[in-house]
């Protein structure tokens, strides 16, 4: 067993922090989960994801508002975590110079402690965004963005890739900070994938870029990266094939647009459309016969729900419905 912690200062009162810790309703700062239950001592909490699945369960061991909350928790979202013993998660809030100091600590076994060490700081950053107006103001949409330049992600662009995903990509949604877009290329089964940390994904995606195994694009404004698109020949995108159950024989000569990440201040300025246009031209130049994409069905207009790209963007670009799944519309465009 091990113990560790993360801490952050928040420009809000302890009462405001506590209200967020025990709030009902969906928590956009915590994987968009909705807690169902009572946060008083002896209460039981079921954490429900946007699809209605219970992915975490907690027993409230201690509840002393607004200072201390202790939960005995088990993660249920993957077998490797469900098989681990329950872990203790402690939230402590104290006043400091008119602000609040928030500390999240845990007593857990691997792989839970590995995940919390990797991703726990992002939970605190998300909490800060939820209650700190100054933090949210930093991410407001810019009125103008100037000229957007699109560059290929080559081995020479690794530093820009690191800067974007280390500091920019998920500032408004820190829960996804560990991704590094490795999900598109993963070869592990679900259990192995669930146990990966941010460091694992950063290291392995970097190696793929340096070996020329990634076809991706970065959008830059004033020389700094503000957008990302991962695309390529469908059969080379193992994670995408696995995620959507794609049949290789049906994708011979077909390319895919896997995902987009646009920095919050630059959304709504056509950055994703510029990236899509370049991705289409890159795949046409490779001699591919068609290009495919995987937008979510209507109903979730959030940046996170649309990370595969919004359906209307693909429709404007000439894509047509190819088939549908429970949660996505698969669209294609001929490149002939």
pLDDT confidence bin for 96, thresholds 50/70/90:
confident
Kindly report the number of other CB atoms within 10 A of residue 122's CB atom.
Answer: 21
Contact present, 38 and 137 (Cβ < 8 Å): no
Q: Which residue has the higher pLDDT, 148 or 250?
A: 148
User: What's the mean per-residue pLDDT of the chain?
Assistant: 93
In contact, 69 and 90? CB cutoff 8 Å: yes
Q: How many CB atoms lie within 10 A of CB 57?
A: 18
Provide the pLDDT for residue 248.
84
Q: Which domains does the chain have, with CATH numbers?
A: 2-137 (3.30.530.20), 148-334 (3.40.630.30)
Give the pLDDT confidence score for residue 299 in this predicted structure. 60
- Whether 1 shows a pLDDT value over 80: the answer reads no
pLDDT higher than 60, residue 75? yes
H-assigned helices in the chain: 14-21, 79-82, 112-131, 133-137, 158-163, 190-194, 198-210, 238-244, 271-285, 311-316
| Structure tokens, 17 | 């922090």
Instruction: Fill in the DSSP letter of residue 143.
Output: S
The pLDDT of 13-25, averaged and rounded, is 95
DSSP letter assigned to residue 196? -
Q: Which residue has the tokens 């694009």?
A: 217
> What are the tokens at 330?
């698969």
| Strands 2-10 and 99-108, bridge-based pairing | antiparallel
Q: How confident is the model at residue 144 (pLDDT cuts 50, 70, 90)?
A: very high
Give the Cα-Cα-Cα angle 274, 329, 321 (nearest 5 degrees): 80
Percentage of the residues of the chain whose pLDDT score is greater than 70: 98
Span 246-284, pLDDT tens digits: 988 889 999 999 999 999 999 999 999 999 999 999 999
> Could you give the count of Cα atoms lying within 13 Å of 319 in the half-sphere of its Cβ?
29
CB neighbours of 38 closer than 8 A, spacing ≥ 6?
A: 44, 45, 60
């Amino acid at each position: 067993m091990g113990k560790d912690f993360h801490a952050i200062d928040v420009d809000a009162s302890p009462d405001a922090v506590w209200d967020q810790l025990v709030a009902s309703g969906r928590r956009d700062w915590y994987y968009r989960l909705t807690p169902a239950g009572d946060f008083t001592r002896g209460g039981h909490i079921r954490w429900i994801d946007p699809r209605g699945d219970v992915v975490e369960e907690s027993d409230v061991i201690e509840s002393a508002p607004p200072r201390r909350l202790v939960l005995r928790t088990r993660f249920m979202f993957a077998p490797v975590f469900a098989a681990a013993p329950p872990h203790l998660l402690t939230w402590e809030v104290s006043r400091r110079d008119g602000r609040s100091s928030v500390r999240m600590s845990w007593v857990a076994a691997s792989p839970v402690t590995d995940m919390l060490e990797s991703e726990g700081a992002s939970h605190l950053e998300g909490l800060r965004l939820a209650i700190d107006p100054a933090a949210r103001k930093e991410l407001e949409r810019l009125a103008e963005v100037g000229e957007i330049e699109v560059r290929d992600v080559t081995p020479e662009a690794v530093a820009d890739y690191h800067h974007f995903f280390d500091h920019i990509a998920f500032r408004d949604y820190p829960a996804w900070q560990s991704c590094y877009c490795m999900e598109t290329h993963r070869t592990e089964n679900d259990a192995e994938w669930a146990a990966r940390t941010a460091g694992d994904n950063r290291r392995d995606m970097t190696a793929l870029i340096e070996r020329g195994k990634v076809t991706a694009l970065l959008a830059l404004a004033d020389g700094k990266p503000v957008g990302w698109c991962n695309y390529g020949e469908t059969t080379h995108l193992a994670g995408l094939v696995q995620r959507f159950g794609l049949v290789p024989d049906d994708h011979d000569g077909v390319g895919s647009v896997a995902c987009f990440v646009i920095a919050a201040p630059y959304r709504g300025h056509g950055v994703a459309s510029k990236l899509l246009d370049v991705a289409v031209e890159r795949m046409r130049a490779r001699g591919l016969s068609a290009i495919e994409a995987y937008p979510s069905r209507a109903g979730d207009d959030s940046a996170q729900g649309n990370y595969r790209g919004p359906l209307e963007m693909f429709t404007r670009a000439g894509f047509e419905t190819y088939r549908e799944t429970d949660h996505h519309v698969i669209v294609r465009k001929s490149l002939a």
